[in-house]
Structure 1
Amino acid sequence: MSEKTALSIIGLKVKYGAIEALKGIDIEVKEGDVVALLGANGAGKTTTLRKISGLTEASEGSIQFYGKEITSMEPEKIAKLGIAQCPEGRQIFRDLTVEENLKVGAFTVKSSKQIEDNFERVYKYFPVLKERKGQTASTLSGGEQQMLAIARALMSSPKILLLDEPSLGLAPLIVQDIMNIVKEIKKEGTTVIIVEQNAAQTLKIADYAYVLELGTISTHGQAEELRNDPKLIEAYLGSH
């Protein structure tokens, strides 16, 4: 495992009007790790991802991607550097085909060979998308649409993949599939930051985790240790 820091967040604060959604958080993401952001609704998890992607402004603090300051950078430039977000609620282009959606995901990739390789890669992860490549995205099931959203983000060859609630509203078997695919993505060297309500499943595939509560980090540590943390079990994992 690399000890290189892919992303560091230092003293990050984000305000929506008078409400402080993030109150000065610090997060470090090592290259090649799966890092989980856990917590209840309204804890600041999605805000953190949106800020990494440049979709919201910081009132204070710094975000560095491989040592490069990206805090005030525009979303397009951040995407070109190699950060791709798979947003909550999928946000696929429902009227386009599966293949057209994937092509849109590759908008930052200049090499046609690379795009071809990326198609091969995502069809290997998600064979069902290959079968359905000519179908319009609106005809896919919820699980297939989620797979398409992840595949579309991967089409940009990201160094870091941001996943926002990938298991939301999906059947347990599909959730298992998606978690297995996240493990595969990690194996191939992509760093993943995953926001999830499903803490038990996520901590099984994560290397490290941060728990957010009302815009602050209440605890963080190796995922394996947090899986056995009595307070965390009570709060998020249900009794085992």
Structure 2
Amino acid sequence: MVQMALDIENLEVSYGNIRALKGINIKVPPGSIVALLGANGAGKTTTLKAISGIVATRGGRIKLFNSDITNTPAEKITALGVIQSPEGRQVFPDLTVEENLRIGAFTVKSKAEIKRNHERVYKYFPRLKEREKQMAGTLSGGEQQMLAIARALMASPKVLLLDEPSLGLAPLIVQNIFEIVKEINKEGTTILIVEQNALQTLKIADYAYVLEVGEINMEGKASELIQDKRLIEAYLGGH
């Protein structure tokens, strides 16, 4: 049996009386890009928060390379190599680009590894290199998104969680960011991406799940789902 990078079994999360996740199953093979698609309020961000240890689960299991990490504290999950680039970017506005990146590397002990990661993120995002002394709050939305992903990469993720990387960005910028995500994956990083932008995501993903009100109601190879007109029109407002 293939060992999964992430294996989510019957995951349940509730906020008070509201069942946000109703027993979902997701598998993320090592080296793949898996997408979790769905409209606002479907439970996508809750899924990532449960994996990251930010919200408690009510049932089910989350395994990282066969180790059970369900309800493990967030800082321990980060140390295990599950790193999230959050929705809304959440860069530190009053720190420079360079300082934001250094914060991303706080769990990495090896100076050589930090140096390698630095070189790697500036290769993916040369624009950040040009702006390394600039305050993050003065960057454009697209540049802040690049910084959020770069900061996550500074922690040498085994699994990179991307939460709505296209949110609020112009189509050309989105295309650019998705090409870089594909590149990051080609170099060996496993990625779970949460998105409303179905078309762009299915172009780069290997496999996708569609979440609707806390339940998975469709899944399959991305190359097949992208042909599904019902999916693109009904759920994801694509054309």
TM-score (structure 1 length as normaliser): 0.97
C-alpha separation in 2, matches of 1:87 and 1:174: 18
How far apart are 1:72 and its partner, in Å?
1.7
Amino acid at match of 1:50: K
Asked whether the equivalents of residues 81 and 155 of structure 2 are also in contact (C-alpha less than 8 Å), the reply is yes
Q: Secondary structure at the match of 2:6?
A: strand
2:5 partner SS: strand
**Structure 1 runs not aligned, ≥5 long:** none
In structure 1, the partner of 2:141 is 142
Superposition deviation, residue 237 in structure 1? 4.9
Aligned to 1:7: 6
Q: Deviations over 1:123-174 (max 9, x none)?
A: 0000000010011101111100000000000000001100000010001110
Q: Which residue of 2 aligns with 1:167?
A: 166
* Aligned twin of 1:184: 183
Alpha-carbon contact 2:199-2:238 (below 8 Å) kept: no
Task: Give the CA RMSD over aligned residues.
Answer: 1.2
- 1:26 is aligned to 2:25: yes
CA distance in 2, matches of 1:38, 1:138: 29
Instruction: Tell me how far apart the structure 2 counterparts of residues 231 and 132 of structure 1 sit (CA, whole Å).
Output: 43
What secondary structure sits across from 1:5 in the alignment? Answer: coil
Is 2:81 the partner of 1:79? no
Relative to 1, partners in 2 of residues 1:93 and 1:211: Cα closer, same or farther, differing over 3 Å? Answer: same
1:67 aligns with 2:66: yes
Q: How does 1:95-106 map to 2 (within 5 A)?
A: 95-106=94-105
Shift in Å at residue 236 of structure 1? 3.6
**Superposition deviation, residue 234 in structure 1:** 2.1
Q: For residues 45 and 237 of structure 2, what CA distance do their matches in structure 1 show?
A: 23
Which residue of structure 2 aligns with residue 233 of structure 1? 232
Which amino acid in structure 1 is aligned with residue 115 of structure 2?
E
Using the TM superposition, give the Cα deviation of residue 238 of structure 1 relative to its aligned residue in structure 2, in angstroms: 4.7
Contact 2:198-2:232 at 8 Å conserved across structures: no
Q: Percent identity?
A: 68
Q: Tell me the alpha carbon deviations over residues 60-106 of structure 1, each in whole angstroms, 9 at most, x when there is no partner.
A: 01000000000021001000110100000111100000000000000
Per the TM alignment, residue 229 of structure 1 is displaced from its structure 2 partner at its CA by 1.4
Question: CA offset at residue 4 of structure 1?
Answer: 3.5
User: Within 1, Cα distance between the matches of 2:179 and 2:120?
Assistant: 15
Q: Which runs of 4+ in 1 moved over 4 A?
A: 237-240
Alignment partners' CA distance in 1, 2:187 and 2:232: 31
1:91 partnered with 2:83 = no
Measure how far apart 1:233 and its partner are: 2.3
Q: Secondary structure at the match of 1:14?
A: strand
Q: Which residue of 1 aligns with 2:49?
A: 50
CA distance in 1, matches of 2:129, 2:195: 27
Deviations 1:200-236 (A, max 9, x none): 0100000000000000000101000101113202214
Gaps of at least 5 residues in structure 2 are: none
Distance 2:165 2:144 in 1: 10
The aligned amino acid for 2:114 is: I
CA–CA separation in structure 2 for the residues paired with 1:73 and 1:53: 8
For residues 13 and 233 of structure 1, the distance between their equivalents in structure 2, rounded to whole angstroms, comes to: 27
Distance 2:60 2:180 in 1: 33
Q: What is the aligned partner in structure 2 of residue 197 from structure 1?
A: 196
